[in-house]
Structure 1
Amino acid sequence: MRIVTYNVADLREWEKQAKWKEDQTMAERLERLRGDIVCLQETHVQQKDVPRSTACPPGWHSFWSFCPQKVKGSSIHGSAVFVKEDVVVPVKAEEGLTEAKALSSLKKANSTATTADLIGGYAQDLQLRGDPNSFESEGRTIVLELGNIILFACYAPFEGISNGPKKAEKLTKKLDYFDTLEARIRIARAAGKEVIVLGDLNAHASTDDSHNAAFRAKQEGAPFMSHPPRRWLQSLVGPNGLLIDSTRHFHPGSKMFSCWGDKVTTRKLDTMGNRVDYILTSPGLQPWLKDGGIQHHMLGSDHAPVFLDLHEQIEIDGVKVKLWDVLNPGRRMTNPSPPPPALAATHWTQFAPEVNGRSTSNGFFAAFRPITASTSRKSSASTTTSTVNASRSSSSAQSGKKSSSGASSSSTSTSLARSSSSSLKTNTSSPSVKGKKRSRNDEMLDLTVDTDDEEVQVASGSSAPQVKRKGAGRVSSQMKKSKTGSLASTQEGEKKTKRNKTA
């Protein structure tokens, strides 16, 4: 299975660039990326501007987060996640990192939604420097529950390079975003969940991730990695960190860049670039890592796609474990796909079918809403078994301390083969991050750009593009005429029979 993250720097402009323009549908573009889960950042669109062909490609479910703000008439920020339904259908999906944002967006999609429909695991009393709405309202985060894995698709704020008047405000927003994200990662790990964090993080994990680290250090008057966002990311993926930098895992010690500030011309892969696009995984997923890298030669944006390949099957303690079972607990490959969560684009009211010429998106017909995945799965949640579960490892006991990645990998990997993942709610403490005070958090996981930038070409897969049927109206008209003529001849025959009988 392949996971891809890609900052497209305006979805509509990206679709016009180079090879992407040759592909007539979104499904074809996704096939070109060869991803089974594709996460996009900087979509720069509003919901009303997204056509059905883009939001609902055949065989895919998509989840979107929009930013209502505009600059010079154009939308900014925004993100989307596309998931192949024959690979995995998320159990739950939500927008944002905080409970307030997740619940409000879910209620817009399904007015009957409650906290029970949320993924959970929020840091209720995290002391932030600013207002979380400053980043929660900008379409930056989509969270998916994929079996025993929580995926965070992120587009982190950018504080700017020059020392402008708003730099301090933007830096505060960025650090608040990272603190909120880290809190959710820690709570998920304490509950035994595996975690994938990916997207444009607008930070560097090491000096090897920037072509001008020395110049930036001189400009900032401090060591390059002492900058708070970089220090946070380096600590997150360090030797004893919470997560593994999967791309660096396959390319240790090499210069790697994913952003060049140039959409079209040939990129100098070893110079003039920065790596700000990451796919990070929890140590328990390390045995599943197969390959990872940057698709440098895919032009169309100032960023390049970053990918991670996972094994379809691994052996743990002599037991064969399939990735399908990890992602789809209780679902067989031969079973029909369950309906996606309420946040999926297929449930958007603008795509609601018409009944007797009237849209079902409003009025009386609004009652005929499609059922949501979370609702359809409640009855089977208690009996569903999986090859993965919440292992109560040392991370919950240590609270805020970061455990050794090697030990975590061993204990969690063993639990992948032996445990089941059924619905439960557990009380744990909300760990402290960066010395900030946090109170205990009783709610746990339910286990059932600013145009922001910090300064391998693949083969196109086959797809089934939508075909516009020409002449459909003409065929319909001919059929109508045929029916009319047939009716007329029948009536004429009845009249003749009646006249004969009279005679």
Structure 2
Amino acid sequence: MRFISWNVNGLRACLGKGFVESMKGLDADFICIQETKMQEGQAEVDLPEYEEFFCSAEKKGYSGTAIFAKEKPLSVQYNFGEHTDEGRGIILEYKDFYLVNVYVPNSQDGLKRLDYRMKWEDDLRAFLLELDAKKPVILCGDMNVAHEEIDLKNPKTNHKNAGFSDEERGKMTELLGAGFTDTYRYLYPDLAGVYSWWSYRFHARDKNAGWRIDYFIVSDRLQPQIVDAKIHNEVFGSDHCPVELELK
């Protein structure tokens, strides 16, 4: 099974930049999208072999997630707990696993939203553990954190900034310590210079001055089934690039 996760930074804009062609080329079983910035029905996505699931924010043009799945799920849940108004999560249940697609809130400049982010992290971890008690979990999305110094180009100058604060990194450590595996680092523990997001400023992508903030994280017991994890930095259309997980 092959899974793709991509923060498209506006699905309607990305559709005009080759989204469908890129997804057809990658030919995954599941495509998980973050930051759709749209309501369901505002755009036609020409992927007829997939079932479509959209979770939109109450505020138009903001946040939002979607999943395109070749296999029909047993059940679908939109959002979790009290986090219901920003369209940040879709959970599909299958016979052997849960697929959880999330767009984690950004802590913002000056860490203005850090308190909410910390609550989100704690609530998400508790929710994932509830699911994991029933069957294995495959979590993906824009997690808005570079976990370790190897996960961004300039760790020293970004320390304490949103996405690389001690608090956010600590929550990722807690999540992994609760029984989950960062699939990319599991396979490539020491591989540096591979990122999934680049600022639009200062020609960051040309210079590969990026951050790895997009993840596939799985229940530890799925480790033997991890075949490969990829970061498709050859694919354009957003300030993020798609990331991939292959499981057997």
Equivalent residue, structure 2, for 1:426 = none
**Residue from 137, 148, 170 that aligns with 1:206:** 148
Q: How does 1:353-502 map to 2 (within 5 A)?
A: none
Counterpart of 1:260 in structure 2 is 198
CA 1:225–1:79 in structure 2 vs 1: closer, same or farther (change >3 Å)? closer
Whether 1:278 aligns to 2:220 is no
Work out the CA distance in 2 between the residues paired with 1:203 and 1:296.
18
Q: Which has the higher helix share?
A: 1
Deviation (angstroms), 1:241: 3.9
Q: Quote the Cα distance in structure 2 between the aligned partners of 1:172 and 1:34.
A: 39
Tell me, in whole angstroms, the C-alpha distance in 2 between the residues paired with 1:201 and 1:278. Answer: 7
Taking structure 2 as the reference length, the TM-score comes to: 0.91
CA contact (8 A) 1:298 1:305 kept: yes
Letter matched to residue 173 of structure 1: Y
Residue identity opposite 1:45 in structure 2: M
Q: Answer yes or no: is 1:95 the counterpart of 2:95.
A: no
- 1:232 alignment counterpart: 171
Q: Against the structure 1 CA distance between its residues 140 and 306, is the aligned structure 2 distance closer, same or farther, given a 3 Å change threshold? A: same
Change (3 A) 1:59 1:284: same
Deviations along 1:373-417, one digit per CA (max 9) or x if unpaired, are xxxxxxxxxxxxxxxxxxxxxxxxxxxxxxxxxxxxxxxxxxxxx
5 Å-filtered alignment, 1:302-341, equals: 302-311=239-248
Residue type matched to 1:153 in 2? N
Q: Which amino acid in structure 2 is aligned with residue 57 of structure 1? A: L
For 1:232 and 1:204, how far apart are their aligned partners in 2? Answer: 11
Q: Secondary structure of the residue that 1:286 maps to in structure 2?
A: helix
- 1:150 and 1:286 map into 2 onto residues whose CA distance is 15
What SS does the corresponding residue of 1:298 show, helix, strand or coil? coil
Once the two structures are superposed, residues 234-268 of structure 1 have per-residue CA deviations (whole angstroms, 9 ceiling, x without a partner) of 2322xx442110011121112231000239x7935
Report the structure number with the largest CA radius of gyration: 1
Match of 1:37 in 2: 30
- Deviation by residue 1:13-44 (Cα, 9 ceiling, x = unmatched): 11222xx17xxxx4x44312321100011111
Deviation at 1:295, TM superposition (A): 0.4
Of 140, 157, 174, the match for 2:117? 174
Whether the 8 Å contact between 2:2 and 2:30 is mirrored in structure 1 is yes
Instruction: Give the match's secondary structure for 1:49.
Output: coil
Secondary structure of 2:145's aligned partner: coil
Provide the C-alpha distance between the structure 2 equivalents of 1:250 and 1:44, rounded to a whole number of angstroms.
33
For structure 2, list consecutive stretches of 5 or more residues without a partner in the other structure.
none
CA distance 1:179–1:266, shift in 2 (3 Å): closer
Please, which of 166, 174, 197 is the counterpart of residue 139 of structure 2?
Answer: 197
Give the aligned partner of residue 298 of structure 1. 235
**Residues 69-98 of structure 1, C-alpha deviation per residue, up to 9 Å, x if partnerless?**
14xxxx1111100001xxx32100110012
- From the two aligned structures, give the one with the greater strand fraction: 2
Question: 1:226, 1:199 → 2: CA distance?
Answer: 19
Identity %: 29
In the TM superposition, what is the alpha-carbon distance from 1:148 to its structure 2 partner?
Answer: 2.4
AA paired with 1:304? C
Q: Give the superposition deviation at 1:308.
A: 0.6
Question: Unaligned regions of 5+ residues in structure 1, if any?
Answer: 99-131, 312-503
1:183 corresponds in structure 2 to 126
Instruction: Report if the CA contact (8 A) 1:206-1:234 is conserved.
Output: no
| Alpha-carbon contact 2:158-2:164 (below 8 Å) kept | no
Name the amino acid aligned to 1:97: F
Over aligned residues, Cα RMSD in angstroms? 2.2
Separation in 1 of the partners of 2:40 and 2:234? 30
**In 1, Cα distance between equivalents of 2:48 and 2:118:** 38
Task: Please give the alpha-carbon distance, in whole angstroms, between the structure 1 residues aligned to 2:188 and 2:47.
Answer: 34
Contact 2:199 2:205 in 1 (8 A): no
